[in-house]
Structure 1
Amino acid sequence: MKVGDVVSARYIARIVFLILFVLSLFDHIFQFMTLNLFLAYVPFELCFLLRLFKPQHRFEWPLFIIFSLIFIFMVPNTFYMITDLIHLKQFIFNFYAGLNLTEWMYFTYLLAGVFLALYCLVLMFREIRYFTPYRWFNRALILIMMYLNGFGIYIGRFLRLHSVYLINEPLRIIRKLVTQVDLKAMAFVLLMVALQLLLYIFMKGVRSFN
């Protein structure tokens, strides 16, 4: 992807994020979207800053490690957005009763948020794919991201732990993971990885079409 294409892709994400974020401020039903959109978008910008922190000298490694850890801890929030579709359950969607435009407006809004998250995730995969000269290492990083995203969704949805707990209550997260992660949880994580692999394959398919 050329530099100009990367800039255009990033501005598309920025514009859509701002529109959805502003709309969330005036919504009383999906107020959770304000925080979720913000947390989903932040890793996207952090990802494109990783190259700036790549160490050229030994003394630059500590800062690079700290920034990388912040990115790693934040990145699951992007794919987490797909689970926000469960909030559509509060609507009936009774097709036999006719068209309820309000329901479909919220449906469109939530789906737009999910589309934005997937778009950002694809661009992050693209960025990491060329992060180093070593293709195998870049692919390993992407696979690690996928597993982290799966665990992030499990931790957020089922253990009800927030990203901020990594800062003020890290031991709580560790205890929860040790005591509550079982085979069923691992199967869920693998399902999330499978979805991301499918997304990655679609991404490569679109590029090969060009």
Structure 2
Amino acid sequence: MLWLGFLYVRVHDPFSFLLLNTFLGYIPIELSFHLGAHKPRPFWLFWPLVLIWLLFYPNAPYLLTDLFHLSLLQPYAVSGLLKATSHIWIYFTYMMISALGCAFLGFWSLNYVSQSISQRLARGNGIVRLIVVLLLTFLSSVGVYIGRFLRIHTIYLFLNPEQFIRPLLTMWTHNLWIFVLLMTALQLFCYWILHLIMTARTTEDNE
């Protein structure tokens, strides 16, 4: 939350979008704390919370695609070399902190939520949990596509869902499937890295 306050003060056009996107990326992280396996929720509350988490979760990896906006800074000089201008690297730092922070904390929330779901469905069965991770990652990649290329933010789905039904039905093109597969692979790779780190830490704690 402190980072959001910092962005509110420091970030200006054309990067003012970073504040909203970081806020949206933080929401699923916060929601995941209410879905932990050690905090059992009744059926009627747990699954609606999972659905809300899933609607907002794509906003976390979505921030990785915001890195393309760094091109607005025109970072290359006429010589073809990167500029050393402080303004460029300040915004580069802002973008990286938001993108990596939300993405990896988002992957942590994915780990947390998948554990809770598999615990409910199959008492923590590893195969079921893997299937849940794959499914949620695939759906989040579709969500990233919707946000990036159809420009439909999660909040719009709550405010005016009827307006977006047709675009959602007609978006299933070859380019979508390529993007979704690549984004899913990228997310799974990052999730795997996070999983290795968490597993190694757990092993050290048990020794």
Q: Aligned ranges for residues 1-210 of structure 1 at < 5 Å?
A: 17-19=1-3, 21-26=4-9, 27-29=11-13, 30-51=15-36, 54-55=40-41, 60-94=42-76, 96=79, 99-131=84-116, 132=119, 133-207=124-198, 209-210=200-201
State the Cα deviation string for residues 23-50 of structure 1 (Å, max 9, x = none).
2212212211111111101100111211
2:150 aligned counterpart, secondary structure: coil
Q: Conserved in 1, the CA contact under 8 Å of 2:63 and 2:98?
A: yes
Q: 1:165 offset after TM fit, Å?
A: 2.5
2:35 aligned counterpart, secondary structure: helix
2:34 aligned counterpart, secondary structure: helix
Q: 1:207 offset after TM fit, Å?
A: 4.3
Give the structure 2 partner of residue 7 of structure 1.
none
Give the structure 2 partner of residue 3 of structure 1.
none
Q: Conserved in 2, the CA contact under 8 Å of 1:128 and 1:141?
A: no
1:49 aligned counterpart, secondary structure: coil
Q: 1:129 offset after TM fit, Å?
A: 4.6
Higher share of residues assigned helix: 1
CA distance in 2, matches of 1:188, 1:85: 16
Give the structure 1 partner of residue 204 of structure 2.
none
The code of the aligned residue for 1:165 comes to: Y
CA distance in 2, matches of 1:66, 1:209: 33
68 and 53 in structure 1: CA distance in 2 versus 1, 3 angstrom threshold: farther
CA distance in 2, matches of 1:136, 1:174: 34
CA distance in 2, matches of 1:181, 1:53: 38
Q: Structure 2 unaligned runs (5+)? A: 202-207
Q: Structure 1 unaligned runs (5+)? A: 1-16
CA distance in 2, matches of 1:46, 1:146: 17
The code of the aligned residue for 2:8 comes to: L
* TM-score of the aligned structures, taking structure 2 as reference length: 0.82
CA distance in 2, matches of 1:170, 1:54: 31
Report the count of equivalent residues.
189
The code of the aligned residue for 1:201 comes to: W
Q: 1:198 offset after TM fit, Å?
A: 0.9
128 and 135 in structure 1: CA distance in 2 versus 1, 3 angstrom threshold: farther
CA distance in 1, matches of 2:200, 2:47: 37
Q: Conserved in 2, the CA contact under 8 Å of 1:43 and 1:75?
A: yes
* TM-score of the aligned structures, taking structure 1 as reference length: 0.81
The code of the aligned residue for 1:92 comes to: Q
CA distance in 1, matches of 2:173, 2:196: 35
CA distance in 2, matches of 1:172, 1:186: 23
Give the structure 2 partner of residue 11 of structure 1.
none
Q: Conserved in 2, the CA contact under 8 Å of 1:36 and 1:81?
A: yes
